[in-house]
A = this chain, B = another copy of it.
Amino acid sequence: MENKTPGALLTAMRAKPPLVQCITNYVAMNIAANVVLAAGASPAMVHAAEEAGEFAAIAGALTVNIGTLSTQWIDGMHAAARAANASGKPWVLDPVAHYATSFRRKAVADLLALRPTIIRGNASEIIALAGGESRGQGVDSRDPVEQAEASARLLAERHGAVVAVTGVVDFVTDGAQALRIEGGSPLMPQITALGCSLTCLTGAFAATIPADPFAAAVAALATFAVAGEEAARDAAGPGSFSWRFLDQLAALDGAKLDAKVRINAA
């Protein structure tokens, strides 16, 4: 693929469209599937250890999110991540509130050892993942993205992964290159599981261009930034934003995405 702009990748994704295996949390399942569908890919929520690995070999990419973690789900996450690795499929890790309990810290350490292709988190999660002092408590970030940039670079180098930090201005790096993406809306953190949904969409882009996870992550962030900005225009609050966001994702096309997105070197 010559042209790797977000718009070109959105068009390519819809032409494919890729099957994305999403192991995500109970809160996110419905909205994440709707986000991936609206953007034009095909989500499949498959988590059981008995089939997660078999399915990962079929899917174009895998996403793993520890939001509502249970012991019996961890085996499925491991089986799927191993199968993704074995078949050369990219996989995305979303370490939701991994700093909150020892159960979560252990789970995320084990998942990191399985070498995710992309890590997507909020600033508190990325800072804590790099070993820093975050102010995170629950699932909401309490740190600005700028504070997490050094942590993201460190994580990217340490794990050979693309790291995407989302917030008011998103930051993405693979250790060598780094970009900032502007857009979105202050309403977005008021809607639960939009970050988890972005992780699933990142999987859809990673399946579209497996050889360039950095471009895939940028495209996912850009899609959310532009669709979010458009949806917020007529939204009166989080409720009216949510359905407008799905409408905007579906209405977005490659040309509009490239015309509207604001990406800057970091």
Contacts and interface: CB of A to CB of B under 8 A. Distances in A.
Interface in A26-58: 26-31, 33-34, 37-38, 42-48, 50-51, 54-55, 58
B97 A44 contact: yes
Given A48-B103, A72-B70, A238 B26 contact: no
B247 A238 contact: yes
Nearest to A248: B237
Contact of A237 (B31, B38, B43, B138): B38
A12 interface: no
A51 B193 contact: no
Nearest to A102: B54
Nearest to A30: B27
Interface residues of A, number: 60
Interface in A7-39: 19, 25-31, 33-34, 37-38
A264 interface: no
A12 to B, nearest CB: 18
A37 B238 contact: yes
Given A30-B30, A48-B71, A239-B242, 6 more contacts: A38-B190, A47-B68, A55-B101, A58-B100, A236-B247, A238-B250
